[in-house]
Amino acid sequence: MASLTTTNLPELTLLSQGKVRDVYATSSPNHLLFVATDRISAYDVILKNGIPDKGKLLTQLSLFWFKKLGDIIPNHFVTADVDEMPEEVRKYKDQLDGRAMLVKKASVVPLEAIVRGYLSGSAWNEYKKSGTVHGIPLPAGLVESEKF
């Protein structure tokens, strides 16, 4: 099984290429096409090989949460059914099926959430220097990899 590490949609305009996802313009001025590839990113380096169907799994995880939380907070998701996407997108169904989402254009909210259960890695390094993790003071005397 081959992995898809590079999208090939020559009739669409590639707007951005992230570590895993590619974003394309569509004929709809209000929508974008998100494509989750099988690229692997480790420490902000994109590796040459990929994991087959990783992008499909990431898309399924996103769809689960968009649907689960859709009644609680609005989101940008429109459809993951390639047959419901603009005509110029549908011609790439073999490449996109299961890994693409049509979304509404929206403003980015610059928010990052870091969930930690243990005092390890960069959190441990910060704690040793300042007694804090992400600027939040912690009790003195904690040990490396201690559970929070």
The chain-wide mean pLDDT, for the chain, equals 94
125-144 confidence digits (pLDDT tens):
999 999 999 899 999 999 99
- Rounded to two decimals, the pTM is 0.78
With contact defined as beta carbons under 8 Å apart, do 24 and 32 qualify?
Answer: yes
Which residues lie across from 36 on neighbouring strands? 21
Q: How confident is the model at residue 80 (pLDDT cuts 50, 70, 90)?
A: very high
Task: Write down the pLDDT at residue 109.
Answer: 86
Task: Write down the pLDDT at residue 92.
Answer: 98
Closest CA to 102 of 23, 34, 15, 10: 34
Task: Write down the pLDDT at residue 114.
Answer: 77
Average the pLDDT over 8-18 and give the result.
95
39-54 confidence digits (pLDDT tens):
998 877 888 899 999 9
Assigned token pair, 48 = 């040459």
Task: Write down the pLDDT at residue 45.
Answer: 80
Q: How confident is the model at residue 1 (pLDDT cuts 50, 70, 90)?
A: confident
Q: pLDDT at residue 84 above 80?
A: yes
Relative to beta strand 100-104, strand 77-79 is: antiparallel
